[in-house]
Every structure is written in structure tokens, then in C-alpha cells.
């Protein structure tokens, strides 16, 4: 298994939409394993393939406190959503930035698991937030796009300054 480099906002590659997985072959299985290892090491509770510069619709999530309930979703799609919730979010591609985002309270997501079985999950709370956050990544969107233009400009400036310091 390998740790994968995570792209950082405002890298333009994060804005590219990912393509559906046509065949769950060894490459996809390896990608999912490496994404999970990368997520746990970050640490994060979710990771989408575009964040590691791979334009396939693959997401890994683990919102458990014990960090041993890995969900791997191939071609996930939200088929139902209801209610509203607002909570603070962060993103492994936007390090050090946290802000409040409004999401659906409950979602129903259809996806394929690694055994190529069609699955449906109904989620609320943090899992619902994470599913929406990760599926947005698959569509080339990042949570900062929910914020004002002014906040996005300030985030770009802050991350550009950080990049200069660490260069
Ligand atoms: O996509 C990502 O960058 C992973 C996010 C997922 C996430 C963001 C906001 C709310 C829920 C999930 C990272 O896991 S952000 C880091 C983090 C770590 C622990 C708890 C919450 C957020
Ligand atoms: Zn993210």
C-alpha cells in the first residue's frame, strides 16, 4: 500500500469532474486501498479520488470513533435528500481552514461496493455531511465554494502565503 499526495486548493485539478468507474479491476482495488491508508494517516474521515489526482468516482469514508468502519463507495450518487443542517467543515485539500456549511440533514446514497454489489445507504448527521462533502469532490467542487467570494479570496491569500513560507 502507498500514501498518496493530496492536492491542495486552489490547484485547478481539484475542479475537474471525475468519471464513473467502468470496471472494478485491480487498479481500482489498489486505488481504494491507498486512499484509505492516506485518509487514516492524514488523518481525515473521508477522501475522494480527485483529491489524490485520480479522476475516478471513488470515495473512502470512516466516521467511526474506533477508526475501523471503512466505507468504500464506487460511483456514489445521492438519490434522496431532505432537511437542513449547518456545521463546521474542514478539508484535507484546504488545510487549516474551517467554516460553517449548510447541508442536507439526511441523504440516501446509492453506490457499488468493492465486491461490485449495488448498495444503498441512508445517512444523517456527520455521515450525511461527509457523503455530501466527498460526492461534491467527485463533481470538482470544494466546500469553500459555499463561502462568500471575500472569504474565498482570503483563503487563497492565506494558503498562498503558507506555500511561500514552506517552499
Ligand atoms: O474531503 C476531505 O477533505 C475529507 C474531510 C471530510 C469531511 C469534512 C468536513 C466534514 C466531514 C467530513 C476531512 O476529513 S476534514 C478533516 C476532519 C477530520 C476529522 C473530523 C472532521 C474533519
Ligand atoms: Zn474535502
Q: Where are the domains of the chain?
A: 12-166
First vs last C-alpha separation in the chain: 28
Q: What is the pLDDT of residues 67-93, one digit of tens each?
A: 999 999 999 999 999 999 999 999 999
Phi-psi category of residue 2: left, alpha or beta, with phi > 0 → left and psi -120 to 50 → alpha: beta
25: CB partners within 8 A, 6+ apart: none
115 in catalytic set: no
Q: Is the CB of 92 under 6 A from ligand 1?
A: yes
Indicate whether 167 pLDDT > 80. Answer: no
Task: Choose among 95, 2, 75: nearest CA to 40.
Answer: 2
Q: Is the CB of 76 under 6 A from ligand 1?
A: no
What's the pTM value of the predicted model, to 2 decimals? Answer: 0.95
Q: What is the pLDDT of residue 123?
A: 98
- 116: phi then psi, degrees, rounded to nearest 5: 65, 20
The CATH code belonging to domain 12-166 is: 3.90.45.10
DSSP tag of 45: S
Amino acid at each position: 500500500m502507498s500514501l498518496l499526495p493530496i492536492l491542495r486548493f486552489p490547484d485547478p485539478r481539484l475542479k475537474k469532474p471525475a468519471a464513473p468507474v467502468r470496471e472494478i479491476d485491480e487498479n481500482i482495488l489498489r486505488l481504494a486501498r491507498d486512499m484509505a491508508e492516506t485518509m487514516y494517516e492524514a488523518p481525515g474521515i473521508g477522501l475522494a479520488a480527485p483529491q489524490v489526482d485520480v479522476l475516478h468516482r471513488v470515495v473512502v469514508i470512516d466516521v467511526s470513533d474506533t477508526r475501523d468502519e471503512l466505507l468504500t463507495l464506487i460511483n456514489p450518487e445521492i438519490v434522496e435528500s431532505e432537511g437542513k443542517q449547518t456545521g463546521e467543515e474542514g478539508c484535507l485539500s484546504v488545510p487549516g481552514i474551517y467554516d460553517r456549511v449548510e447541508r442536507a440533514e439526511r441523504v440516501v446514497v446509492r453506490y457499488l461496493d468493492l465486491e461490485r454489489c449495488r448498495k444503498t445507504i441512508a445517512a444523517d448527521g456527520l455521515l450525511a455531511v461527509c457523503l455530501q462533502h466527498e460526492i461534491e469532490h467527485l463533481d470538482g467542487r470544494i466546500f469553500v465554494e459555499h463561502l462568500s467570494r471575500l472569504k474565498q479570496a482570503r483563503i487563497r491569500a492565506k494558503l498562498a502565503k503558507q506555500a511561500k513560507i514552506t517552499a
